[in-house]
Homo-oligomer: A and B are copies of this chain.
């Protein structure tokens, strides 16, 4: 059996739900459907989840919420009416929302979690109702009944291990099951949401639990591209990616997938396919445990900005046992997570996401390092971008780094830092944020255009 997850744009309108229903009907192995809340219908539209958050915040302030609630009900109503569904389902959704805003507000996180989760929950009810209306045997199944048990961290639930055993009971049912994404229940029975975008997590957990042959993740693009289409014109599509490659690409700004979503599928060895609801015949991008690297040692190029780099030097630093550990201890004390800590002989840099530092905290951290570690010099460089060249096949070839650095040189981009070889999956370059688009284009041309094959420096298999 296959588990298929449909994102917000796939659930945004009657037109989209018809497409989704047709996709479900087209393959009888698509037995479990995980849905998001209705997303944007057009570029300036507001996602249902954001309407729900605004509604919840109004409730907590004691404001009149009639209009806000009505706007949400209307989103579902528009879909239901255009699908010629009976009023029954909209009455149910309306009643549900009225109950939720009356719920106990003592614990505001829990109150908000209940409202936010209703986006997916009512979307699932509506879609199951629609499937039934078209003659497809389908049931809405609540995550509690499905057995998705999570930690009691509102907005950041972690799946508990018993979930996978519980989910087995979803196998072999003679109908389509529609499960809302994004939330589970704590062992005490409280509804708790995953981090935002967590419908991907629900799909991945269920695919692992029922040992699916495939986890299909339907979005609104034909596939994952080798580079950001906003930076590179008409980039190539990726046919196959490994889990590790996907993880590194999504870390560095590929937003196709929720960052943690792949873990359950990864651990269970379930292949994942990213497909387009609007063009389901396109083959999509497969995410697999292993792929043939010979044709494409490089899988993709990603970039992400918002980093800063703290540089520290101290004569004979490398003789000082415990220096690195004490440096990291200061960051840990300050609740700062670092990304990388490349080091020279007598100097070391710490790369971190700069949104963790306000001016005051930055000054305190620099002062503490200077004083407590008695360093010779310390400085900080802001507005850095990380460019990642990702591909598990790269380690098999001599000359990848030569091609990559040549691309930077031709583009006139100064490389602030290279980190290669610590990861078996990626090569990382720090550049000034303003240089990042130029660098991505140059790398794309180097590795993915025809000209690349005529390069003076051919790759040599080791």
Chain A residues close to B by CB (< 8 Å): 244, 247-248, 251, 260, 263, 266-267, 311, 313, 315-316, 318-319, 321-322, 324-325, 328-329, 332, 335, 337-349, 398-399, 401-402, 404-406, 408-410, 412-428, 430, 456-457, 460, 462
Contact = CB atoms under 8 A, between A and B. Distances in A.
B421 A418 contact: yes
Contact of A325 (B318, B319, B329): B329
Contact of A332 (B248, B325, B348, B409): B325
A345 B398 contact: no
B315 A322 contact: no
A263 B405 CA distance: 35
B342 A324 contact: no
A302 to B, nearest CB: 11
Contacts of A318: 251, 337, 339
Given A325-B328, A402-B405, A423-B347, A340 B337 contact: no
The 8 closest A-B pairs by CB, nearest first: A344-B423, A417-B421, A342-B422, A325-B328, A402-B409, A399-B409, A402-B405, A418-B420
The binding surface of chain A is classed by DSSP as mixed
Nearest to A322: B332
A372 to B, nearest CB: 14
Given A343-B422, A348-B422, A401-B405, 6 more contacts: A325-B328, A325-B329, A325-B332, A342-B342, A345-B425, A398-B412
Nearest to A419: B342
A346 B247 contact: yes
Given A339-B318, A402-B402, A345 B247 contact: yes
A374 B187 CA distance: 25
Given A341-B343, A409-B399, A247 B420 contact: no
A422 B417 contact: yes
A207 B402 CA distance: 45
A376 to B, nearest CB: 10
A318 B341 CA distance: 12
Contact of A263 (B316, B335, B349, B402): B316
Contacts of A266: 315
A404 B409 CA distance: 12
Contact of A425 (B339, B344, B402): B344
B415 A420 contact: yes
B421 A349 contact: yes
Given A260-B316, A325-B328, A405-B405, A244 B456 contact: no
Interface centre among A322, A341, A404, A430 (most CB of B within 10 A): A341
A421 B416 contact: yes
A244 B311 CA distance: 16
Contact of A328 (B328, B345, B417): B328
Contacts of A244: 346
A344 B402 contact: no
Given A266-B315, A412-B398, A415-B401, A321 B344 contact: no
A398 B402 contact: no
Contacts of A401: 405, 408-409, 415, 418
Given A420-B415, A422-B349, A426-B344, A337 B325 contact: no
A153 to B, nearest CB: 14
B315 A324 contact: no
12 contacts: A244-B346, A251-B345, A340-B342, A340-B343, A344-B426, A347-B424, A401-B409, A404-B405, A405-B406, A409-B460, A417-B421, A418-B419
A166 to B, nearest CB: 23
B426 A460 contact: no
Contact of A248 (B344, B402, B409, B462): B344
Contacts of A328: 322, 324-325, 328
Nearest to A425: B344
A423 B345 contact: yes
Contacts of A335: 321
A341 B339 CA distance: 12
A412 B324 contact: no
Contacts of A406: 402, 405-406, 457
Nearest to A459: B409
Nearest to A321: B337
A420 B421 CA distance: 12
A422 B332 contact: no
